[in-house]
Each structure stands twice: as C-alpha cells, then as structure tokens.
Structure 1
Amino acid sequence: MLLATLIHRANLPCPQVGPDQAAQLLEQHYGLTGTLQSLGSQQDLNYKVDSTRGRFVLKICRGDYAAIELQAQHAALDTLQAVRVPKVIKALGGEELLSVTVDGQPLHLRLLDYIDGQPLTHLPHLGRDVIAGFGDLCGRMSLALADFSHPGLDRTLQWDPRHARELITHLLATLENLPHRAALEQVAEQVEQRIRPLADRLPWQAVHMDITDDNVVWQRDAQRHWQLQGVIDFGDLVHTWRIADLSVTCAALLHHAEGDPFAILPAVRACHAVTPLQREELQALWPLIVARAAVLVLSSEQQQRLDPDNTYLLKNAEHEWEIFHVATSVPFELMEAAILGSVGETLSSIASQDFAPLLPGLVGREFALIDLGVLSPHFEAGNWELPGIDRQLLDQAAAVHGLAASRYGQYRLSRTCPDSATEPQTFPLHVELHLPHGTVLEAPFAGTLHQDADGLVSVQGVELSVRLWGVDTRLKHGSLLVEGQVLGEVHGPLTVQLCRADLEPPLFCTPSRALAWQALCPSPAALLGLACDAEPELDPHALLARRDASFARSQKHYYVDPPRIERGWRNHLIDMQGRSYLDMLNNVAVLGHGHPRMAAVAARQWSLLNTNSRFHYAAIAEFSERLLALAPAGMDRVFLVNSGTEANDLAIRLAWAYSGGRDMLSVLEAYHGWSVAADAVSTSIADNPQALSSRPEWVHPVTAPNTYRGEFRGRDSAPDYVRSVEHNLAKIVASKRQLAGFICEPVYGNAGGISLPPGYLQQVYGLVRAQGGVCIADEVQVGYGRMGHFFWGFEEQGVVPDIITMAKGMGNGQPLGAVITRREIAEALEAEGYFFSSSGGSPVSCRIGMAVLDVMEEEKLWENAQVVGGHFKARLEALIDRHPLVGAVHGSGFYLGLELVRDRQTLEPATEETTLLCDRLRELGIFMQPTGDYLNILKIKPPMVTSKRSVDFFVDMLSKVLDEQL
C-alpha cells in the first residue's frame, strides 16, 4: 500500500489550469479580479494575484490529496507565531478550502495572502549570514512545530525521507541513463546502510520539510544585507524525523555552494544553536541530504516525462543535478565528522590504539624534522614555487643527518596557489620520511595487503589502514598479515598515511576541511615512534583579542575577521594556512613583498651602520642626488623624513617660513596625514567624520575639483572650480592675512584617482603665487611612477610645484619620506632653526631608497605600470556596459579607482554594496578596500610588479561578485 501510494503521487502531473480559468475561479469563489502570474511548481499550481484589494497567492492542487492534509497545513499556519507565514483567505462562502472540478480534474482551491520578498534561488552564491539564516529558521520552525499535531500529518509523502529507498528503487527502473542509474543505485545503498542503525533513535515531530531557497523569501535592508521575510509554502508538512527538515534545507543550499559541501555548516551550527540536535540526528544528517538529492533528481526526471512543457521543472533540473553531484563528491564519513565538529561534538579518535612499530630498526633514532611551513627559514625569494622543493629540502637534510621527516599537519607553503578563488590544499594528511634504502618495514597491525598501480601499498585492518608509498614488497595483493610481519623495504622517499579502513583520503586537504579529515586521517606519529606533528598555531581570534587589548583601537585593521598575514611575495600576501591573497591595495610595496634585494640591502647596511643624519656617510648624499635627478629643473634641496605625514607637515612648515604667512588653501575631501598640521588641511570625512567642523581658522578648504560627481562635471570644468579658489583668496586678502600656500594631490587620490580638470593647477598655481604663497604637490600616494605615463602626478597638469612631498613606495615598506624643494625655500626654514629627524635619512633608509629606484629601473616597473596598467583600466571600463553598479573608472597605470553607484544619473553612492563586495572579494582571495568620502570607490593601488594574469583574475572575480549582487 505504501509503495502504491508513493508511486501514484510521484506520477501526478501539475494541474492543467490556465491563467484565464484561474481568473474565473478567483472571481467566482473569492470575488477578486486582478492580474495573475504563474509562480511555478512541480506538482501544484500557484498564481500570484495582483488586485486592488492586495496581493494574494491562488494555490491549486490535485484532488488526489486528501482535504485533511490541506487542513493540517492551515492549522499549522494558525499555530505559528515565531515565523512569518501566509494567512488563509476565506472564500465568499466562508470556506478556507474549496473542492472544484475543472475540465474533469478534481482540484483543491485555496487563497493565501502574499508575503513580499524574493526567493534566492537565482543567486549562485549565498553568504554565510544567509546560510546561517536558513539554519536558524529551521531551528525556529522545529521549535514552533514541536508540539503541533493533526491527523492530516499522518500522510504518505514522496519527500518523506523514511520512504526514500522505496521511491528511489521504483523511479530508478524508469531512468534511461545507465551511468546515472548506477550512481543512484550505489548512493541508495550507502544511505540505507547508514540510516538503518540510527532510524529508531531519531526524534519525530511535525516537520515543514520545505525550508528551501524556493519557499523562503527575503529582502535587502539599508545595508544591503538579506533579511528574512517569511516562509510561503507548507505543502510538504508531515510527521516524520525532526532532522529531515534541516536535511531538506541543506540539500537546497548545495546548489549555492560552488561545489563545496562544507558550505552548509553555518546552517547546521545555527539550527543546532536554536534546537539542539542529538548526536544520532547529526550523524544521520548527511545521509539524509544525499537521499534528498537522489529523490530530487529522480522526481524531476519523472515529472519532466509527465509534464514536458513545465518550464519550472526544466529550470530546476540543472540545480537538482548540481545538488546531487556536490552531495556525492565527498565521503559520508568526512561530512559526518565535519557536521559533528561544527557544533562542538567530540570526534571519536581512531588512532588511540597501540601499534607495533612500522620501522622497528629506527626506533629511538633521531630524525631531522624539516620546517616546510609558511614561516620556514628554508623558503626565501619565492623558492617555494620551484617544483619538488619540499622533497629537495628533505633530501638535503637526509644527506646531512641521515634521517629526515616532514611534519604531519603543518600547512605547506609550497602548495599555495596565487590568483586562485579557492583555498589551496595545504594541510598534509601524511608524513614523508627520507631513509636509507633497504630500511625494513613491518605491519603495525594485522590486516590485508593491498597494492595499487600507482605504487600504493596498504595494510587494511579492521578499523584502520596504513597507506604507504615508496615501499618495495614481495608480498602478493590480498596477503593476510599479522602484526609485526615484514612488509618490505624502503626504496625511495617514504610517504606514510594512517586512516579509517576503506577510505581513500587525499594526501593534502584544504584548511577548512582539516579538522574533519584529521578525525579520519590522524597523525601516524604513534606507529612511527616519532614526534612529527606540527606545532600548534596561535589561535587567530585570541591573537586579535590580544591586539585589541594592548594596541590602541583607533589604529584599525582590515576586515572584521581578518586572516593572519605573516608572509608576502611579489603582489601576493600569504596567511598562516598557506592561502595567497592578491594584494590590490598596498601601494607601499611598489616592488612587491619579500623582494630579495630589499632584504639583502637592509641586512648589509644594518650589519655596517645605522645612525642619524648628523653623521657623515655616503648614502645620504647619493640618495639625495638620485631624488633630485627625478625632480624638475630648479629643485635642488631634499629633506628626508619617515612618512607621508611628516613630509606634508614639513612642507606646510616650509610654506609658513618662506611666505611669512600661515593661511593655507587645501582641497575638500582630501587626506594629507595625521600630524596637527597635516590633519588640519585634511577634510576627508571618511578618515575624520568631524573634519568639516573642526578646521582651524588658518585652513581654507576649496571645492573639490571632482569631474565625476562634483558640483561641476566634465573635463572643461576647471574655470568653475577655480572660482572657489579665487573666493577663498579674496577672503584672505580682505582679512589682511598672508597666504602661506596651497596643498593638493595632483591626482585626486582620496576620490579614487580622479584626474583634475585640465588647466586647473596651472590657474590655481598662478593665483597662489601671485598672493605670495607656495604650491605643494602631495605625491605621497600618486607619485613615484605609479601612474605609468608620468613619474609625478603634477606632470599630467603640465605644472611644476614649489614643494614636492613623497613617501609610501619610496622605501617599499621601510619608513621613508622626502620633501624636495628649492634652495631659497629650504633656507627660509633654516633661518627659524635647525630641522632634524632622528631616523629620517638614516643609512639603512637611504640604501633601501636607492635600491627601490634601482629595481624599478632594472625590472622596468614604470613600463609595467603603463602596459599592464593600461590593460587593467581597459578591462575595468568594459565592466561599465555589463554591470549597472559600475559608474566610472578613474586614474591610470596602477593608480585606479572603480566608483560604484546605484544610479548613474543621481550618482547615489553604492556604499553598502562596496563594503559587501570587498568582503566577498576577500573570500575569493583578493584584498580590496573602499575609499572616498562615501566609501563607494574601490581603491586599486597594487604593487607595481602586478602581472596581467593577476589583473585578469581580479577583474574576473570582480565581475563575478557584481553578478552575485543582483
């Protein structure tokens, strides 16, 4: 009877009721008229109704379903308080449920109110917060329905996982694709084996059974985060295992997982936090998810045969097969361990037993344990990218010490993957040993010998297997072994892996899967008699808490939950788990990170001398001459300091000393540093929310010449913006004060690299000089060749300033800044007293500064900024036609800005979207941060060694994320 009912219901097609017929039913029974839109369904028919009385959903299902089943759904809707659900609208006669016949089809008719929002089925990616939201909803729904009962819940439903095996067996017989049939048959058997011993211990209750991306609606809030609006369908309500609800939800989430089944874990944690799940439920969860995936694809195939014109079915079929492929891509044992571990359940150890020694002849011998981790001193100048470097280092150690071994669980730097959107497999689930040839191996426990064509020799015991590569054995495949029996001899590097019997684990796994795999593939240290486990890493959250407890919190860090970065190479930064992040915002490291020349020059000079500039040494003269050679003719004096703030502060002092005045013109929205003087001329509200209301009287901000979103637009807007300068100069003259100078970035850096309107600086510099002031070009961010076609930003405007300030890239991370000016300006400061910076212009800083210039020339980094930077901007500009959120691309070379707007006419800043985009890019392996007063501009200032490959990766990922935000 059960199977017959399942087969009958699985074979039911969707009711055949067209929009016109549905409209007649609506008017006849509910007195409503309006516009109808099909919402799609597998076996039911749902129409969205827009009428003058509001929005509703007309639900039509076949009369094969008993009325009491639908009445149970209505009763549940009336019961729920903690979750927003639709209300049942009564018909003209007062009925909540109508039975009608249309074209000979017995049907049930219902009307529910419509919950505004949208399902998230169309989104390829869901954030962890949304995934957790689904899990939280599952938990709340379980709590709300825990005491709900109704005779209509005792129904035979094809989606009830208790009947999955029977339904799969029946539907398989109709499946024509033989490979699919074989895969599904195997899955059904595996699920059955795992569920059978747990079934009697699983709690029962009323279960919604359809909390999925189709049936839950959401809306974005003001911060562009998705917020739950309600659950819109209760058609699968049934009395069954409580854990079935979460299994349905998690299965639906797999088509948003981008191939990673571990993506469901936030949902599991969130559900468990609301409704604590029994261990047996957690163990049953993944098999039920796999069963759900199998039922989905088989039911879809069946429905498509019954209803080939149903576009809803065709659209969902691809998602359902994706769910199945993701669900079957990993071992059941791995997902059980991951699920248990995600909620803090103890993972049973499989390595606690005693072993006979695998290498009895080496017991007590000392091994050289080689550090292959992220901070290993063996790795420098990118040599970890060389093929076979780990084995080479082990070989070298064995040649010196006789015995060498790697560490189990030490994240391998050599396996990092630059320009990759997914985390690399850096966690070793094995130990590699380099031993004398002929070293004898013995079975650590009784078992069966297995040999594979790839050189794998394994001993499979009752609970455990030891897997070995690099063993020469004379034993035959299938030989029965006793503990201590000779296996063979070492004939090369020996790889040892311990794991649960019948598993075929990888040699490496990703960091996110490490905890689960460790439960199944523990360290082989016990059978080796060797303390070869990796040293425990500092907990990153505890380390961040230590930072916050001791380091002033006004000194912010990137990201809420930042990765711990301890190494860099070229244009990538590497975390402690070996993941590489593309650095797209670090304009300090113009040569990239970890440059060997910088390390060598710094080490050499430190070994000789580092002192202050009052001593006589060659480096300070040589570096000053190099800087002057880069400056315009007539500039002949250099001051060396430690930062851009110091450089701008000193430039203001020079302006004061030379002009005899104190009043300064600065540009609104600009940032020049944190010292008293540099902060005074900074008006960026992103850096200082009180900037506009806290300027001293000697600072006169002029209108920002922003040609994209400023008061005046376009390249011919210079005269309009100059009027603001004229107005402020007139006020200074009227107050009988002396102008000291004008400070401005020649390219509008804080706004994302916007070029000033042509002619702007020529006119402003003329006005300022006519009033006895000096013109300061703040090149801290934009200068030093980053723009590609120009070494200095002011060259784009065709002007020569009186003072140039620079820093950031000058030292490639070494604190180094400079001010270049004319002799008479420099001497004006001397008349007021000496200038001295303890470490400004130190021998180490000067040598590093010269090395930066040398490398930039030798590696043709200015040319790279032109060529690759030009390609970069072209690719970014191509996004404008594809993504409405992209308003404009600013800048040139490797100083670019991508401005995001919600409306290209009003230029409403897409501030919240930009924040979400940067967070998502980090998940995809890219560091990016917003800039500008509205924080809606991507600040793109990568190291100047950035390659075309990295640029293409960045733009591809950026486009992907913009697609996801629709």
Structure 2
Amino acid sequence: MTAKPVRTSPPADLVTRRAASLGPTYKAFYDKPIEIVEAHGVWMFDQTGAKFLDAYNNVPVVGHSHPHVVEALASQAARLNTHTRYLHEGIVDFADRILATMPREIGHVIFTCTGSEANDLAYRVALANTGGEGFIVSEHAYHGNTLATSALSPSAGTSLVGRNVYMVPAPEPKSEASFADGVADAISRMERDGVRLAGMIADTVLSSDGIFVEPHGFLREAVELVRAKGGVFIADEVQPGHGRLGAAMWGFDAQGIVPDIVTMGKPMGNGFPLAAVAVRPELMVSFREISGYFNTFGGNPVAAAVGNAVLDVLESEALLPSAERVGAYFRAQLKDLASRHRTITSVRGLGLFIGVELDDAIVNVGAKVSNEMRERGVLVGTAGKQGNCLKIRPPLVFKEAHVDLFIEQFENVLTQELPSWQV
C-alpha cells in the first residue's frame, strides 16, 4: 500500500484570524495546523480535499460521524432536550447501561459535560469523605483544566500543581523501584508535612506519562497503600476507557482493581460533550450531607441518546475484540520495525492504545516524528515527560490495512528524515 505525502500548507488567513480572535492559549496541533472540514470513520479531510489517517483522536471512539450516533443525536434533538430535573427514561436507561459495565460495588452515576468536570466532582467527593486534602498523581498526569483539576495535572505545568498534590514517577522498566514504592514515599512525605491523605487519582494506563500497562496490575499495590491510609482511589478512564484497551472495557479492569470512583468523558459521546462520574453509593451519601450537585447540560436527553448509541455500536460491531486483535497486530508490526530501527526504544500498550518510545538523544524527536507523519497524511500525538513517546489511539474501527499504512509512513520517516536530525 503506497500513500503520497500530503504536505498541505495551513490557510494563513485562518491561522492569523484564529490567533487574533481566540488568543494565545488555543494551541493548534502540528507546526503546520490543519483545517479539518469533514471526517468519516478513521479518515479526516482538509479544505483542499487531502485526507489524513487519524491514529490519534480518541474522542470519536466508534469512528468519526458514525451514522448510528448521528441519527440518535438528530432524532432526539428534534424531539426534546432539557435538563435532568425532569424525568426522562433515556437518561436512566443510559445510566443503567454504564453501571452494568462496572463492578457491583459501583452503584451510582452522575453526568457532566466534560472529563474536567467529572474529575473536579470526583475530587470533591474524595475530600468530603476523607476529611483529608493530600492527593497523589503521576508526575506527568493530566486530569483536567478546572482550578482543582489543573492543580492535579503536572503536564499542564508544574507551577500549577497544588501544594497538597504529591507527584509519583511513572514505572521505569530499568529501575527496581515500583510505582507503589513511589506512592509509599509520597504518603511518607505527606505525613512529614502534616498533610492528611485524601486519595490518589490515576489515568489507569498513565496515558500522559507515556502509556504504561506493565508489569500487569502495577497500580493494584499502590491503591492498597492509599486505602490502608484512609484514602480513596479515583480511576480516570477518560483516555483508556470505552474499550480502548481491547478486551477490557475499562483500564481498571486490565489492572485488576475495583476503584472507589470512576471518571469518564470524551469517547462517551463520540464528539458530543458527555462525561460522567461512577461511584460507590456510600461515598455519595457522605457527599450529599455536605453538598448537592446539579449540572444543567450534563446527561441531557440528547447526550443520553448519543451515549446509548455509542454503546450500541461498541456492542453491535464487536469493537472491543476488534481493538484487541488489531492492536496486537499493530504492536507486532511496531516491534518488528523497532528491530530494524534503534531509534525506537520501546513499544507499549494494550488494544488500540499504544506508546512508542523514541530515543531522546535526538532533540524534540517526538514532535519531529509527529510533524513529519502529518506531512505524510498520518496523524499521531506525543506523550511522556520528555515528549519522546508517540501516542497512538485511533478510533476503534481501525483495521489491519490502516496499520499497514501507518507502518509504511513511519518507516519512511525513520529512513528518509531521521538521518538529518542526527547530524
């Protein structure tokens, strides 16, 4: 399979207008931003008609513009959309379907619009139930952009991290220290500082740290340490959830953990703003004694219809087993590529969530590879504290033929562009 490099240039006037209207905080992907005007399945199209293979965007988990999801959205919007102060069977049906995917200990679900809101609420519930304030996060975590969740997100800038937040290194394969050792050290530091532990929040494959799934169940011991000290565990499933890992619907399933609180977002609505917190009922009893919670748009009838449609597609198109099969093929092809190119130092992941670590001796190697892949019509992101890990998380409708195209262009970058970067 051969694909011609795309090499389209961004529309200069739109780049200028965007900067003038939206300000400096709206950062576009890639050195040459793309004006996307249409997308279907795994393909995105710019204003010139050039197409890009989407190997990065986990929001449209069942594929861009999936007809069943679009129909559900349009049909419900044509009938009714209001808030959850009114009874609506579709909302309750959706809540029941989400809870059916959870461990029996998780009994309530509260809908929000974004993962940031979900993590903010989860944080509040944890504080209310423990009386503590100290929180543990991985050292390059991202958990949202509210005031509270920014303080839990070192990847957004360590200057924003709250004084009550203690960071733990991601697993290091060459180190004898485990993730749990880091958590134990963080708890000890809290005790020395006179800070009472409230809990730990973790993206269950440490997505922003570089995608970690080994050793199997590495989070379990850390969670046990937190609970032994009276803290709660929040599983942030915004990125690894909704079948991203193949056989496991949720990342905590793959880790062998039953969380106290689960948060989810982006993929729930396949692009429609939809997120949620699933929680042990006893925690909500304590929280309700302190505070109520209401979200005008969270879990509205249109959102519920869309969320139900996404679950329909995951089931009817057997996307979890497909993600497991295609993901295994993808990782095998990447490992074969690594055997021929020493720039690839590690291939990690489960299902269709894959991290490819690159040799950080090359300055800005992750950004250079992702920008060059964009020039060749393949979209991929980066992760890790040094930004040297390619972050691959395509829609779950990705197939082996799409993997072959990715591998072809990735090898072209490694053979044709890499030599000039090493000079």
TM-score bracket, normalised by the shorter chain, equals: over 0.9
Residues 704 and 816 of structure 1: CA distance in aligned 2, closer, same or farther (over 3 Å): same
Distance change in 2, residues 1:828/1:909 (3 Å)? farther
Distance 1:942 1:838 in 2: 31
2:69 maps to which residue?
Answer: 598
Q: Distance in 1 between matches of 2:68 and 2:217?
A: 41
- Cα deviation, residue 582, structure 1: 0.2
Structure 2 residue 287 is the aligned partner of structure 1 residue 829: yes
> Which residue among 919, 929, 943 is the counterpart of 2:381?
929
Structure 2 match to 1:421: 4
Correspondence for 2:222 = 764
Among candidates 315, 333, 339, match of residue 875 of structure 1: 333
Counterpart in the other structure of 2:20:
549
2:401 to 949, 955, 961: 949
1:635 aligns with 2:103: no
| Aligned match for 2:233, one of 756, 768, 775 | 775
Counterpart in 2 of 1:920? 372
1:574 paired to 2:45: yes
Q: Quick one: which amino acid aligns to residue 367 of structure 2?
A: T
- Mapped pair 1:802 → 2:260: yes
Counterpart residue number, 1:645: 116
Identity score, percent: 37
* Matching residue's letter, 1:744: A
Q: Equivalent residue for 1:137?
A: none
Question: Which residue type is aligned with residue 404 of structure 2?
Answer: D
Listed one character per residue, the Cα deviations across residues 186-211 of structure 1 (whole Å, up to 9, x for unaligned) are xxxxxxxxxxxxxxxxxxxxxxxxxx
Unaligned runs of 5+ in 2: none
Distance 1:735 1:545 in 2: 48
CA distance in 2, matches of 1:419, 1:555: 34
Checking the alignment, whether the CA contact within 8 Å between 1:707 and 1:754 is kept in structure 2 is no
The one of 300, 309, 333 equivalent to 1:842 is 300
Which residue of 132, 156, 179 corresponds with 1:661? 132
Per the alignment, in what secondary structure is the counterpart of residue 747 of structure 1? Answer: coil
In the comparison of the two structures, how many residue pairs are matched?
418
C-alpha contact (below 8 Å) 1:419/1:950 kept by paired residues: no
User: For residues 623 and 678 of structure 1, what CA distance do their matches in structure 2 show?
Assistant: 26
The residue identity in structure 2 corresponding to 1:958 is F
* Residue deviations 1:216-256 (CA, integer Å, cap 9, x gap): xxxxxxxxxxxxxxxxxxxxxxxxxxxxxxxxxxxxxxxxx
Does the 8 A contact of 1:910 with 1:936 survive in 2? no
Q: Distance in 1 between matches of 2:231 and 2:369?
A: 43
722 and 609 in structure 1: CA distance in 2 versus 1, 3 angstrom threshold = same
Question: 2:350 aligned to 892, 895, 898, which one?
Answer: 892
Shift of 1:594: 1.6
How do residues 74-113 of structure 1 correspond to structure 2 at under 5 angstroms?
none
Q: How far is 1:694 from its partner?
A: 4.3
* 1:389 aligned partner: none
Provide Cα deviations, 1:799-820, integer angstroms capped at 9, x if missing partner.
1111111111111001111111
Over aligned residues, Cα RMSD in angstroms? 2.0
Q: Report the Cα distance in structure 2 between the residues aligned to 1:909 and 1:757, rounded to whole angstroms.
A: 26
Match of residue 412 from structure 2: 960
> Which letter maps to 1:796?
A
Is the contact made by 1:747 and 1:756 (CA closer than 8 Å) also made in structure 2?
no
Correspondence 1:699 to 2:165: yes
State how far apart, in whole Å, the 2-side matches of 1:952 and 1:873 are.
11
What SS does structure 2 have at the residue aligned with 1:664? strand
> 2:154: which partner in 1?
683
1:814 maps to which residue?
272
1:180-329 paired onto structure 2 within 5 Å: none
Distance 1:702 1:617, change over 3 A: same
Identify if the C-alpha distance between structure 1 residues 698 and 882 changes in structure 2 by more than 3 Å, giving closer, same or farther. Answer: same
Residue identity opposite 1:868 in structure 2: V
CA contact 1:897–1:939 (8 Å) conserved in 2 = yes
Q: State the partner residue of 1:610.
A: 81
Per-residue Cα deviation, 1:886-922 (whole angstroms, up to 9, x for no partner)? 1111111110011110xxxxxx453423322222212
- What code does the residue aligned with 2:88 have? Y
Give the drift of 1:731.
3.4
> 1:806 is matched by which residue type in structure 2?
M
Q: Deviations over 1:396-416 (max 9, x none)?
A: xxxxxxxxxxxxxxxxxxxxx
For structure 1, list consecutive stretches of 5 or more residues without a partner in the other structure: 1-417, 425-510, 513-538, 902-907
In the TM superposition, what is the alpha-carbon distance from 1:768 to its structure 2 partner?
1.2
Contact 1:419 1:581 in 2 (8 A): no
The residue number in structure 1 matching 2:201 is 743
Quote the offset at 1:759 in angstroms. Answer: 4.7
Q: Conserved in 1, the CA contact under 8 Å of 2:164 and 2:195?
A: no
Q: Contact between 1:911 and 1:935, CA under 8 Å: does it hold in 2?
A: no
How does 1:359-398 map onto structure 2 within 5 Å? none
Once the two structures are TM-superposed, the CA of residue 942 in structure 1 deviates from its matched residue by 0.4
Which residue of structure 2 aligns with residue 364 of structure 1?
Answer: none
SS of the residue aligned with 2:154? coil
**8 Å contact from structure 1 (residues 752, 891) kept in 2:** no
CA displacement, residues 46-79 of structure 1 (integer Å, 9 cap, x when unaligned): xxxxxxxxxxxxxxxxxxxxxxxxxxxxxxxxxx
What amino acid maps onto 2:352 in structure 1? F
Q: In structure 1, give the amino acid aligned to 2:399.
A: S
Determine whether 1:790 maps to 2:271: no
Higher RCO (C-alpha 8 Å, min separation 6)? 2
Give the residue type in structure 2 aligned to 1:579: A
- 2:403 and 2:372 map into 1 onto residues whose CA distance is 17
After TM superposition, the structure 1 = structure 2 runs for residues 138-153 of structure 1, keeping only pairs within 5 Å, are none
Q: What is the Cα deviation at residue 702 of structure 1?
A: 2.2
| Post-superposition offset of 1:656 | 0.4
1:564 maps to 2:35 = yes
Q: Is the 8 A contact 1:909 1:936 kept in 2?
A: no
Offset at residue 562 of structure 1 (A) = 2.1
Q: 1:568 to 1:880 in 2, by over 3 A?
A: same
Corresponding residue for residue 731 of structure 1 = 189
Per-residue deviation at 1:696? Answer: 2.4
Equivalence for 1:540: 11
Asked whether the 8 Å contact 2:168–2:182 carries over to 1, the reply is yes
Q: What CA distance in whole angstroms lies between the structure 2 residues aligned with 1:577 and 1:561?
A: 14
Distance of 1:663 and 1:813 partners within structure 2: 33
- For 1:833, give the aligned amino acid: S
Letter in 2 for 1:553: P
Distance 2:343 2:133 in 1: 44
How many angstroms apart in 1 are the aligned matches of 2:344 and 2:191?
43
Question: Offset of 1:576 from its aligned partner?
Answer: 1.7
Q: TM-score, normalised by structure 1?
A: 0.42
Structure 1 residue 957: deviation in Å?
0.7
